[in-house]
A and B are shown apart, each in its own frame.
Chain A
Amino acid sequence: AQSVTQLDSQVPVFEEAPVELRCNYSSSVSVYLFWYVQYPNQGLQLLLKYLSGSTLVKGINGFEAEFNKSQTSFHLRKPSVHISDTAEYFCAVSDLSGNTPLVFGKGTRLSVIA
C-alpha cells in the first residue's frame, strides 16, 4: 500500500516570493505521483503529474515539481506566487498497476499575503 505525507499543513508566503510545498511518499513498488489544487469552495483539479521520464515536471499556473526517488519526495515549487495561488494543495500517489485508487495526503493550505 502507498501513503503520502505532506509535511506542512499551512504555508504563508508573501506575494511574488518563491514557495515550496513538501510531499514525501511511502511505497514498496514504483509509483505515479500527482499534485491537485483546491480553490475555495470548489472541487480538486489536477496541477501536474509524474508518470515516468524527466524527474522535473511542469504543470499549470507556473508550478513545477521534482521527483526524487532516493528521497521518496515530490516537492511542489513556484518561483513567484500570486494572490490567486491561495488554495489547498494535495499530493497523491498511485501504483503502476492503475487498478488502485489514488491515495491523497492531508493537504497544505497555501496563503499568499499581499
Chain B
Amino acid sequence: NAGVTQTPKFQVLKTGQSMTLQCAQDMNHEYMSWYRQDPGMGLRLIHYSVGAGITDQGEVPNGYNVSRSTTEDFPLRLLSAAPSQTSVYFCASSYTVGANNSPLHFGNGTRLTVT
C-alpha cells in the first residue's frame, strides 16, 4: 500500500505566489488533516476533514484553504504565500478523528520555502 502520499517533496515560492500541496491516501480513511512543523513549535494543526464535503479549521488556518471532494484527496492551498509560511507540511489520515482506535498515518512531508 502507498499509504499517505504528499507531493511535491520540496517547493520554493516567491512572496505572493499561490500553490497547492497535494495529499492522497489509499486506506479509505475518513479523517484527513494538515499540520505544519516549525522548529521549537512542534506540530500545529492547520485544517482537517472528517469526510468528503466536510472541513474544519485547526489551530493555525489563516492563509490556507482546503476542500475535500473525495475520500482519497485533501489538497492544501496557499492563496498568496508569505515568508511566515516557510515550514514543513505534513498530511495525516486515520479512520477516526481522535485516532484512538487506529493510528494517524503521516506522509513524508513537503518542505516549503517562501522567499
Contact = CB atoms under 8 A, between A and B. Distances in A.
B99 A34 contact: yes
Interface string A66-108: 0000000000000000000000001000111111111111110
B43 interface: yes
Interface residues of A, number: 28
Contacts of B98: 32, 94-95, 97-102
A98 B43 contact: no
Interface in B66-115: 90, 92, 96-101, 103-104, 106-109
Contacts of A36: 104
Question: Number of contact residues on B: which range applies?
Answer: 20 to 34
B contacts with A: majority SS: loop
Given A42-B108, A45-B106, A106 B100 contact: no
B108 A43 contact: yes
A43 B4 contact: yes
Contact of A43 (B33, B45, B90): B90
A44 interface: yes
| Residue of B33, B103, B107 contacting most chain A CB atoms (<10 Å) | B103
B43 A90 contact: yes
Interface string A21-54: 0000000000010101000011111100101000
B53 interface: no
Nearest to A108: B42
15 contacts: A34-B99, A34-B103, A42-B109, A43-B90, A43-B92, A45-B103, A46-B104, A90-B43, A94-B99, A96-B100, A99-B97, A101-B45, A101-B48, A105-B42, A107-B43
Interface of A: 6, 9, 32, 34, 36, 41-46, 49, 51, 90, 94-107
Q: Ordered nearest first, which 4 A-B pairs have the shortest CB separation? A: A43-B106, A106-B42, A98-B98, A46-B103
Interface of B: 4, 33, 35, 40-43, 45, 48, 58, 90, 92, 96-101, 103-104, 106-109
